[in-house]
Amino acid sequence: MQKSFLPSEPTTEKGTCRPQGISYAVAKKKKGMTVGFVTFETVEQLRNAVEVLKENQSGGKQIKIADANRRSHQKLHSEGPVSNNGAATENSSDAAAPADGTSGPEAAGASKRTVRDAVTPLAHMTYSDQLEHKKSSVAQLLKKLTRNAKKACPADVTLPDWISNAKQIGGLSCKLEGILESPVIDGYRNKCEFSVGHSLAGKKTVGFMLGNFSYHAYLRGTELIILGFGANSQLFGLIMRCAVSSMQYKFPVGSTTDKLYFLYFQVCSTGVDEVLMKDEFAKLSKTLVQGAATCSPPLPLTTIVVQFVNLICVTVLCDSSDHTGISNVAPADCPLIPLLVPEVDQSEEGAVDKTRIHDHISNLRFSLSPTAFFQVNTLAAERLYTLAGDWANLNSDTLLFDVCCGTGTIGLTLAHRVGMVVGIEMNESAVVDAQRNALINGIKNCRFVCGKAEDVMGSLLTEYLGSPQQHIAASESNSEVNGTGKKEDIVGDAENNGKSTESLTEKNESGEINEDLDDGISKELEGGHEQCNEAVCNQNSEEASSLVNEESVDAKAADCSEHTKTRKEGSSISKNDVLAATACQFKNFVAIVDPPRAGLHPTVIKVLRTHPRIRRLVYISCNPDTLVANAIELCTPSTEHREKNKGHRGWRNMSSAGLARQRTKSMPNSEPFVPKRAMAVDLFPHTSHCEMVMLFER
């Protein structure tokens, strides 16, 4: 990569790709194309880059080059400037003026599209109207599920009751129980992410990006403490997290002193001199600390952490060894460096580990890595988890699978209601956090497994529940046929198979998974999914969390991490693993799944559906569209005459529901789930988003 090709601070000169943006490169997939966006410091650099690109090919094809932003730039101008009135009156010309009083394009006249429009599009409605609006969106999705499952139902199979009776409840696939409101409506977020860059007027700005690569809007309030960057700063992201203590902890909810502020910067240091950068950071932390102290009331700023994200613009050259994501969010493993914060707060949280965030849910204390997922509305999350637990019908005979468990929040808050929790999470630092959180709270009946659910779920189910074949064979021999099919159907040719399903198939065909449960478990474990082996089948310890020393917790969590690594490198199983597996004799097997926006991987759906001992599944979704797609696969009856999986190629342009309907055709013959109840949970007041919870049973 030529130095002159590196993107840097943009200019508004004619010909730049993106006027007044910040320096970074992204790639977007668009109809089979990868589109990269790059900014340049000078027109000369731009020309240089164009020459380089013209001479290069990607995958045998010429790279097309175009001015990415001119059109939207002009459009935005002709529409009127973007302003920030996020916290102020809507569309008032006063609100349109930047907080630092600059005049410029942003300040000239009222904007049509404001930060408030972009970030909180429902803010103009009363809260009860917002709830109605969200509830009816969820109702539409339940109707969509019914329609799609009906379409996908094989001709040789009778429509299940929930589809044929749907008319009686307005076409819904199950009862919609309503919407749970957020206990806090304003200022509920414990985390805000801002972009840092230049406005169209060339002002250093902290705020939100209004759409892709359009300019940054001014932000009131928080910008006041953050506007002290030097000209060479190449910050591109700021994440502000605050820990909200809930009732039983130190501060009353709602007072400004109940929050400890944690600032977390993502910095692109590419091409920036190290000494200069050190100097910048020193200035940065000084400015921030001073700003926080002079706020009214003062902000208890405890921590400032910088994360280096060295994105470079090779995306355009399609070099697969570099960043090719479509997002400017830092990967979780980018290095973290805490900046010195003068002793503003030396509470136990501040003193223990400055790079960690602490928060509380349902009487439990959570210690989090800054990049770990944590629900942004802590108090509403408590309600969400309680609801999921209530619907899951838990008791001491329950083995709960917490699928996509993040830092363990769901499993840990429900651990006292079950015999054992097995959490599955792909993000290694989140797994270490979960392990640490179990230790901090003295919870001993949880085990957290690091791996992609699609890779480990099958072998975990076999480990704890036995293989699907065993149960089918048992039920066939007892003449208690429940509608499931032949053995080979269950382990058949899953498309996109993760390791576990594949290995099940292979082993079944070669007869290696035999009727002996222990042997089956050992064989699966030898296949080696990574795990933190803390499986102890007993109830929660009564140990008070305050007795746990975080240093020892650190050490144990690190041990766990090591263990995880060792497993990844393929060590053989330990005896304890088998003991843990066979010692767990539970009667009730429940999964609570809480996947990311993309929903559950098809292999996970298949594994859950084809294991006859999973009778109840609670699905928590932040993207009801993908929930519907997954539900189609979980609930559509299968046929003896299923189609062979034809792969994905022709399905590229299908909707998620269309794709799910296709997949049902190759679903192994298995008892479908039935949607039983649904509920919306409003974790995001003023936005159009909400969580949706559905209970499936069979």
Ligand X SMILES: C[S@@+](CC[C@H](N)C(=O)[O-])C[C@H]1O[C@@H](n2cnc3c(N)ncnc32)[C@H](O)[C@@H]1O
Is 450 annotated as catalytic? no
Tell me the C-alpha distance between 180 and 207, whole Å: 30
- H helices of 268-343, in order, are 274-294
Closest approach of Cβ 582 to ligand X, in Å?
25
Question: Which of 612, 658, 630 is closest to 489 using CA atoms?
Answer: 612
State the residues that interact with ligand X by CB under 6 A. 373-375, 404-407, 409-410, 424-427, 430, 452-454, 594-596, 601, 622
Closer by beta carbon to ligand X, 372 or else 472: 372
The verdict on whether residue 375 carries a ligand-binding annotation is yes
Q: Which is nearer to ligand X, 130 or 377 (CB)?
A: 377
In single-letter form, the type of residue at position 486 comes to K
Supply the minimum distance, in Å, between the C-beta of residue 594 and ligand X: 4
Q: Nearest approach, Cβ of 242 to ligand X (angstroms)?
A: 17
* Residue 656 Cβ vs ligand X, minimum distance, rounded to whole Å: 16
Enumerate residues 6+ apart whose C-beta is below 8 A from 309. Answer: 236, 237, 266, 267, 268, 330, 331, 334
CB closer to ligand X, 82 vs 243: 243
Q: Which is nearer to ligand X, 63 or 591 (CB)?
A: 591
| DSSP helix, strand, coil percent of the chain (3-state; round to 5) | 35, 20, 45
Q: In the complex, what is the shortest distance from the CB of residue 682 to ligand X, in angstroms, rounded to a whole number?
A: 16
d(CA 443, CA 396): 15
Least CB distance from residue 107 to ligand X, whole Å? 39
DSSP states of 237-283: EEEEEEEEP-TTSSS-TTSGGGEEEEEEEEE--TT--HHHHHHHHHH
Q: How far is the CB of 427 from ligand X (least distance, A)?
A: 4
Alpha-carbon span 279 to 302, nearest angstrom: 21
Nearest approach, Cβ of residue 426 and ligand X (Å): 4
Is 390 or 509 the residue whose CB approaches ligand X more closely?
Answer: 390
Report yes or no: 49 and 63 within 8 Å, Cβ to Cβ. no
Q: Which residue is nearest to ligand X (CB)?
A: 406
Specify the residue, 454 or 550, whose C-beta has the smaller distance to ligand X: 454
Per DSSP, which regions of 346-476 are E strands? 357-361, 364-368, 398-403, 420-425, 446-450
The DSSP code for 208 is: -
**Which residues, listed in sequence order, are joined to residue 399 by a DSSP beta bridge?**
420, 589
Instruction: Record the tokens describing residue 324, joined without a space.
Output: 């090719």
Rounded CA separation 543/372 (Å): 26
Cβ contact 657:629 at 8 Å: yes
Smallest gap, in angstroms, from Cβ of residue 355 to ligand X?
A: 18
d(CA 305, CA 407): 20
Query: Quick one: 106 or 454, whose CB is closer to ligand X?
Result: 454
State the catalytic residue, choosing from 404, 405, 532, 622.
Answer: 622
- Range list of β-strands (E), 398-479: 398-403, 420-425, 446-450
Judged by beta carbon, residue 37 or residue 374, the one nearer ligand X is: 374
β-bridge partners, 590: 400, 616
For 562-613, the DSSP string reads HHHHHHHTTPPPPHHHHHHHHH---SEEEEEE---TT---HHHHHHHHH-TT
SS (H, E, C) 460-522: HHHHHHCCHHHHHHHHHHCCCCCCCCCHHHHCCCCCCCCHHHHHHHHHHHCCCCCCCHHHHHH
The response to whether 156 counts as a known ligand-binding position is no
Shortest Å distance, C-beta 430 to ligand X: 5
Q: Is 594 annotated as a binding residue?
A: yes
Picking from 282, 307, 298, the residue whose alpha carbon sits closest to that of residue 224 is 298
How is residue 643 annotated by DSSP? P
Q: What is the DSSP letter of 41?
A: S
The residue written with tokens 């953050």 in the block is: 226
Which backbone phi and psi does 435 adopt, to 5 degrees?
-60, -45
For residues 630 and 694, what is the distance between their CA atoms, to the nearest angstrom? 11
Query: Would you please indicate which residues are annotated as catalytic (active-site) residues?
Result: 622
Q: Annotated binding residues, as ranges?
A: 375, 425, 594
Residues annotated within a binding site for S-adenosyl-L-methionine:
375, 425, 594
